Amino acid sequence: MNTRRNFIKTSAAATVGMLTASPLISLAAKGKSRLKNFGFISGIAGEFMKNDWKGTLQKAVDFGFTELEGGSNFASSPKEFLKYCKKIGIKPVTGGTSLDPLTKNPQKYFDEYNELKYKYFVIYWPWLVGGPFKLDDCKKSADILNDLGVKAKANGLTLLWHNHDKEFHQMEEGLPFDYLMNHTDPKLVQCELDIYWVKKGGGDPLEVLKKYAGRFPVLHVKDMASGPDQDFMCPGSGIIDFKPIFREAKNQGIKHYFVERDKEPDPMGCLQSSGAFLKNIRF
């Protein structure tokens, strides 16, 4: 595991070589299924996107990425963004914001995302408070999500909310995650499930997938370091076993997998190693 955990510290070329030669990858390759498409959230490479968004996207495509979350703000216009993405073979699928700006002017965001031809609209922080969450906080958020879900659907978009670890911390009655899932309309509100944050909060990503099958059209894929801090890691470099998770996701028809890691010190190295891992994993 030390070799896997440390590989992103090596050069980009060595990273791919280590992944290809890894016994874990070789074992994974014996499976029958693979990810046909996978993407990344543009924020993981924010500075690179800011300096050269076209070159950064081209490198991501070279690494095997076929889908994109966000990133349109780096182009001069939605038209330019879509034209270039089509040219190099990467498809923008979704983007998002937090609850507060969306509630102030939802139509502005809906119009923008329709122009970008997005399919999903993600609320990355579906709360009016910072947590820990109480039952009353959950009731307020669920009502707002249902209302925004109606408006998003009327604009041809599917509304998603994104979880963190705090949704898996106990409140007066159960878990905030369960409350939001059970008190939002499945026809209007779905979830972009972040695998890492489920585990960080003490939950089991595989069991969550099974419990709420059909509610997760999009997964956020990042890994977890061993040890007490349980820090972010790039997919394939930590302790999370993605094979059973991806197998269940495939069985449910989930098609979108986005690499996401906050404050990544080596963005392009992470994208390259993640791309190699996700291309090679079999489940």
- Whether residue 55 lies inside any domain: the answer is no
C-beta separation of 239 from 276 below 8 A = no
Give the separation between CA 84 and CA 81, rounded to whole angstroms. 5
- Whether residue 81 lies inside any domain: the answer is yes
Mean pLDDT of 107-117: 97
pLDDT digits (tens, 9 = 90+) for 42-63: 999 999 999 999 999 999 999 9
Mean pLDDT of 125-154: 97
Q: What is the mean pLDDT of the chain?
A: 91
Hey, which residues does 135 pair with through a beta bridge?
Answer: none
The count of domains in the chain is 1
- Whether residue 4 lies inside any domain: the answer is no
Q: Is 126 helix (H, G, I), strand (E, B) or coil?
A: coil
- Whether residue 170 lies inside any domain: the answer is yes
Q: What's the CATH code of the domain at 115?
A: 3.20.20.150
- Whether residue 260 lies inside any domain: the answer is no
CA-CA-CA-CA torsion sign (76, 78, 83, 84): positive
- Whether residue 229 lies inside any domain: the answer is no
- Domain encompassing residue 138: 63-221
Question: pTM for this structure?
Answer: 0.89
What confidence score (pLDDT) does residue 12 get?
41
- Whether residue 115 lies inside any domain: the answer is yes
Q: Which residues of 196-233 are buried (b: 16+ CB within 10 A; e: fewer)?
A: bbbbbbebebbebbeebeebbbbbbbbbbeeeeeeebb
C-beta separation of 235 from 15 below 8 A = no
Which residue in 265, 277, 185 sits closest to 240, CA to CA? 277
- As a whole number of angstroms, the longest Cα–Cα distance in the chain is 52
- Whether residue 110 lies inside any domain: the answer is yes
* Residue 109 reports pLDDT greater than 80: yes
What confidence score (pLDDT) does residue 245 get?
98
